[in-house]
Amino acid sequence: MKTKIQPMPVQFVKMIQFTLLVKAEGRRREFNFRKLKSPDEELFNVNVCNDRGDRIIFTMQKKEDAWRIIPGQLPQWILQTENNLDEGIKQELVNW
């Protein structure tokens, strides 16, 4: 008996991850970004450490050509960096 071979469709999706150093609360902090694949909206998961070394995780969403932090219980120093994070994401995405 002869086996019929059928091609399997393969789709490659580029994973986007990067790190930005941003000055927040008087010191440089390392913000790590990972783009989430969502058919409805553009999102980034972002994480950064506080002074005690605890990792703070939040999400940024693209709204009207700007990347905005999705509201949550975040320290003020993160909220104050939103414009710098927006600029950094836009600059980094040019490379992808």
The predicted-structure confidence for 5-51, as pLDDT tens digits, reads as follows 888 888 776 789 999 999 999 999 999 999 998 778 899 999 999 99
Tens-digit pLDDT profile for residues 50-89? 999 999 999 999 999 999 999 999 999 999 999 999 999 9
pTM for the full predicted model: 0.84
pLDDT tier at 1, thresholds 50, 70, 90 = low
DSSP letters, 12-78, are: -----EEEEEEEETTEEEEEEEEEE--SS--EEEEEEE-TTS-EEEEEEEEETTEEEEPPSS--HHH
